Amino acid sequence: MNSNFIRRWRQSNWVTILILIATVAVFLGETLTGGSESPQVLVNWGAKVDSLIKLGQWWRLITPVFVHIGFMHIFVNGFTLYYIGGAVEQMIGHWRFALIYFLSALSGNLMSFALGGTAAVSAGASTALFGLFGVYIALGVIFDDSYYFRQTGRQFLMLAAFNLIFDLMASGIDIWGHIGGLIGGFLLIIALALPGQKLRKGLAWQITASVGFLAICAFLYWLGMVR
């Protein structure tokens, strides 16, 4: 029975579930320590603050993925994480999903750090979620002979474009963070490849994507530090 449970757990979307549990736990912590819309509470729980990053608090390029501002913020992101994150995890595997989720958050927060506005505090999982959109878009490019991947890639490209247009019209939304996460997810799935995948595009694609991701992140960190 225990072995069956372990096997089912390994086959489930357990990384997505653990991330969602941690995100909800942080939100409850925010609520109990002063409210999730309090700037000081957000800072205490790890929101992105550019001035603090410059002072050496580099972890604020990752921890904002767990921090949310208000109930609707975590509800929408949590819903998206559960359904899209679960689907991506089933498709690409647990460790690839975890790497892409958190590294997309990193690239998104780095782009926000380097190019974003003057918002004192920013937070949310949308940097990582846009990275998942980027995964689907990239798979449509990699497997351009597959009708399913082509169509799914186009659908997520339209979804990402719609969201970015909405970002431009709305206030208080970190569009640079979304773009950085999207680019990160796109490059990372090419770099990591799918389980058992033999890239028709060649190993050069993986190397180029890996170097490109690292170079972009390094440049954005440098740019943010000298702004």
Can 38 be counted among the known catalytic residues?
Answer: no
Distance CA 197, CA 203 (A): 11
CB burial readout 139-171, b (16+ within 10 A) else e: bbbbbeeeeebeebbeebbeebeebeeebeeee
Nearest 5°: phi and psi at 25? -60, -40
From 94, 126, 146, 210, active-site residue: 126
From 73, 112, 122, 178, active-site residue: 178
Can 126 be counted among the known catalytic residues?
Answer: yes
- Coil, helix or strand for 130? helix
CA R_g for the chain: 18
Distance CA 126, CA 122 (A): 11
Among the residues of 94-125, which ranges form H helices? 94-115
CB atoms within 10 A of CB 25: 11
Which positions are catalytic?
126, 178
